[in-house]
Structure 1
């Protein structure tokens, strides 16, 4: 059996769009989690939901920073 050990070319052309989509879906998940808080059974469950949403906020901040980096890289033609 022959293996192709060549790496795939780095195609970053749609990274910004993918990151924007990830932000959109993360925000949707946060909104759903906020709605579920009114049905939370106890303080532990509420705390878990709130902690998860805080991690989601941090992820969104990271996505936005990465979008800026990608946009800058595209402007400079990835040099």
Structure 2
């Protein structure tokens, strides 16, 4: 049985998409540090098809990153 892995999707400054995988047992913040470079602009960590972490490089900075808040899922409409 293979260990579960998180999929890491990296978008570079030139809009190239790169995909990598990290073990699910590692701390996500530490595991994605190697991807936080000046060449990359957006990092998305997924578990199956669900986004669990999203980091974006602050415009104009080569080393500062911020967490992007994910919008809460909308509840189903109440039927009257």
Same-fold status (TM-score > 0.5)? no
Q: TM-score, normalising length from structure 2?
A: 0.23
Question: Which is richer in helix?
Answer: 1
Question: Which is richer in strand?
Answer: 2
Higher radius of gyration, 1 or 2: 1
Structure with the greater relative contact order (CA < 8 A, sep ≥ 6): 1 or 2?
1
